[in-house]
Amino acid sequence: MLFDGKTSLDEVLHRVREELKLGASLPNHPFHFFPFCTSGADARYVVLRHTTSDLALWFFTDSRSSKVGQILKNSEVAAVFYHPEKRFQVRVKARANIHHQDEISASFWDQVKGEARKAYGSVVYPGHRIATPADAHHWIEKVDDRFFAAVMLEVKKLDVMQLDGLTHLRAEFVKNRDHWEMHWVAP
């Protein structure tokens, strides 16, 4: 369990932050891959690459992907994380910010090493129809960051649920400028 009824809301938020940090740094952590939803209820899994103390969550994508176009139309997004061993979930509402061809994306690009860079350098853009699977496996000759985007989720609300038989616990955290409003809510 992540928390119980005696855990303070401040401590619940701290523990959620720590789990998200672990999700970004440990490939086997349950939060490493997470469902990400754009406003059209279009969902897909992405990889949690970085978190900050103020709960900005980062993932990388190809700038030509459909999710980027959807974010440009409506930056309000959602994500969900679930930890099966500790039996808790974190639902996230956020505003997505795309960094492409700027200093921030360049700093993240420097962290992408070797063959992993090919994921952002395919000749055929993501979602394009192809005749055979092999048609998708062609990369620009010198892979660079022209299609690399770092997406930052500026968390606005967290809904945290601790599953525990008939006595589930649930807390809500709403970001109000520089502080979090915290409340226990009925599960």
What does the domain layout of the chain look like in residue ranges? Answer: 9-185
What is the fold of 9-185?
Pnp Oxidase; Chain A (2.30.110)
Of all helices (H) and strands (E), which one includes residue 150?
A: strand 148-162
Q: Tell me, what amino acid is at 54?
A: D
Other beta carbons within 10 Å of 100 = 16
pLDDT-flagged residues of the chain (< 70): none
Cα within 13 Å of Cα(13), Cβ side: 19
Per-residue model confidence as pLDDT tens digits over 39-90: 877 899 999 999 999 999 999 999 999 999 999 999 999 999 999 999 999 9
Whether the model pTM is above 0.85: yes
What integer pLDDT is reported at residue 68 of this predicted model? 96
What integer pLDDT is reported at residue 98 of this predicted model? 98
What integer pLDDT is reported at residue 40 of this predicted model? 76
Greatest Cα pair distance in the chain = 58
